[in-house]
Amino acid sequence: GQNIDQPTEMTATEGAIVQINCTYQTSGFNGLFWYQQHAGEAPTFLSYNVLDGLEEKGRFSSFLSRSKGYSYLLLKELQMKDSASYLCAVRVGYQKVTFGIGTKLQVIP
């Protein structure tokens, strides 16, 4: 099976930078996703990493190290609307995507 770990809660200040870490242990690794989920809503896609390195997309960046089983999501210039849960998810093979517990981020003024 998969073991995905991420902090359960984080707090950061509006305008600041926050890094959300995710570690995983799995066989058949075929990519790592980050999803954002606001309370009561469906998850929405943020990023996908399958090779080592940094992927940047606007205010959001995601990093992957396959040898370390480690990823992070970096959010810059935080806005109040970024308050949400951030889910790390691991893809095994082509069909199975398993989600971590999620990190609830609270952005404060």
Partner 1 sequence: DTEVTQTPKHLVMGMTNKKSLKCEQHMGHRAMYWYKQKAKKPPELMFVYSYEKLSINESVPSRFSPECPNSSLLNLHLHALQPEDSALYLCASSQDLQLADTGELFFGEGSRLTVL
Instruction: Give the nearest distance from C-beta 64 to partner 1 in angstroms.
Output: 13
Token pair 């893809």 is found at 91
Q: Is position 87 an interface residue for partner 1 (rule: CB under 8 A)?
A: yes
> Using the rule CB under 8 A, which residue among 3, 44, 65, 106 binds partner 1?
44
When asked if residue 54 is in the footprint of partner 1 (CB under 8 A), the reply is no
Q: For residues 11 and 13, which CB has a smaller minimum distance to partner 1 in the complex?
A: 11
Question: Exposure string (b/e) for 70-93, b if CB count within 10 Å is 16 or more?
Answer: ebbbebeebeeebbbbbbbbbbbe
Q: Is 71 near partner 1 (CB under 8 A)? A: no
Nearest distance, CB of residue 33 and partner 1, angstroms = 7
Q: Could you tell me if 109 and 15 are in contact, meaning their C-beta atoms sit under 8 angstroms apart?
A: no
Is 89 in contact with 100 (CB distance < 8 Å)? Answer: yes
Q: How many residues bind partner 1 (CB under 8 A)?
A: 22
CB 7 within 8 Å of CB 21? yes
Instruction: Report if residue 100 touches partner 1, rule: CB under 8 A.
Output: yes
Q: How much is the CA Rg of the chain, to the nearest whole Å?
A: 13
Contact footprint for partner 1 (CB under 8 A): 30-31, 33, 35, 41-45, 48, 50, 87, 91, 94-102
